[in-house]
Amino acid sequence: MIDPKKDLLYRLADDQLILGHRNSEWNGLGPILEEDIAFSSMAQDKLGHALQLYSLLHELGEAEPDTVAFTRNAGQFHCCQLVELPIGDYAFSLMRHFLFDHAELLRFEALTASSYEPLAQVARKLKGELKYHVLHANTWIRQLGTSTDEAIEKLQAALDLTLPYALALFEKTEAEPAIIAEGIFIGEDALRQQWLENISRVLSQTALELPDVTTISPVEGGRHGVHTEFLQPLLDEMAEVFRLDPTADW
């Protein structure tokens, strides 16, 4: 049985790394320059978060952060499938960012009370940054979600598409009972409930309709190493230079 701390850390770190990587792909492509810049800032934050979380794993005996991030294959990743999907159009990336970061903010707020003190410390730092990510997402969802029919249609389509993946953010692993019992984290069910309340509140201020989540099957598997066809090519690209000379210091 895997150490519950490591189980949780891998899920958290892999989510941050992969979404950070995806967000960075918006360089040069944003609908306005300010969004190029914003997505880059969030990407940098997420990479920084991933690095801190992989560093905790390293303290628990796992390999160096660079090795862990740049040399595993898709089957060894524990990110949810939501983060690995290609950036799509801006509506898709914005909606993914909205759904993901609302969950992240709540997750790291809860983790500030973790019994695993090193993680609680990291969470106290991260939640301050995540607050701005959520503020950014809310601002845009409210703006565009109350604007033209065209924008509302695109965002609604993005919401319908991303929601089944977003619900799998809360996929549990075998370590879940131990994680809760040891006071490391409040658990996925508690988080999901708060998340639904928060996203519903923002969406209710727009023309967007949140589909009935009780009728949707979450697209799970990511937490157990089952991924979309998009993850391995992303990892190959990420490691392209790193693998040219594994003995090198870059």
Partner 1 sequence: MYGSVSTHDIPAQASTGLENEDPQLLAEFEARIARGEKIEPDDYMPALYRKQLIRMIEQHAHSEIIGSLPEGTWITRAPGFRRKMAQMAKVQDEVGHAQLLYSAAETLGKSREEMLTDLITGKSKYSNVFNYPTPTWADSNVISWLIDAGAIVNQMANARGSYGPYCRALERICAEESFHLKYGHDAVVHMATGTPVQRRMMQEALNRWWPPIMTFFGPADKASQHTEILMRWKVKMASNDDCRQQFLDMYVPKILEIGLTIPDPNLRKNEETGKWEYTEPDWEELRRVINGDGPCNQERLAVRRAAEENGAWVRRALQAKRQAPKAVRPLA
Task: Give the binding site for partner 1 (CB under 8 A).
Answer: 21, 24-25, 27-37, 40-41, 43-44, 47-48, 50-51, 65-66, 69-70, 89-90, 142-144, 146-148, 150-152, 154, 204-207, 234, 237-238, 240-242, 244-245, 247-250
Residue 19 and residue 100 in contact, taking contact as beta carbons nearer than 8 Å? yes
Taking the complex as a whole, how short is the minimal distance between the CB of residue 42 and partner 1, in angstroms? 10
Distance CA 233, CA 241 (A): 14
Taking the complex as a whole, how short is the minimal distance between the CB of residue 245 and partner 1, in angstroms? 4
Taking the complex as a whole, how short is the minimal distance between the CB of residue 145 and partner 1, in angstroms? 8
Distance CA 156, CA 128 (A): 29
Distance CA 181, CA 190 (A): 14
Residue 23 and residue 97 in contact, taking contact as beta carbons nearer than 8 Å? yes
Taking the complex as a whole, how short is the minimal distance between the CB of residue 121 and partner 1, in angstroms? 19
Taking the complex as a whole, how short is the minimal distance between the CB of residue 16 and partner 1, in angstroms? 11
Nearer to partner 1 among residue 146 and residue 200 (C-beta)? 146
Taking the complex as a whole, how short is the minimal distance between the CB of residue 229 and partner 1, in angstroms? 17
Nearer to partner 1 among residue 40 and residue 112 (C-beta)? 40
Nearer to partner 1 among residue 229 and residue 245 (C-beta)? 245
Whole-number Cα distances in Å, 90 to 11, 76, 144? 26, 29, 11
Nearer to partner 1 among residue 174 and residue 237 (C-beta)? 237
Nearer to partner 1 among residue 51 and residue 178 (C-beta)? 51
Residue 189 and residue 120 in contact, taking contact as beta carbons nearer than 8 Å? no
Residue 187 and residue 107 in contact, taking contact as beta carbons nearer than 8 Å? no
Nearer to partner 1 among residue 44 and residue 194 (C-beta)? 44
Interior angle at CA 138, CA 10 and CA 130, nearest 5: 35
Q: Report residue 35 as tokens.
A: 């969004």
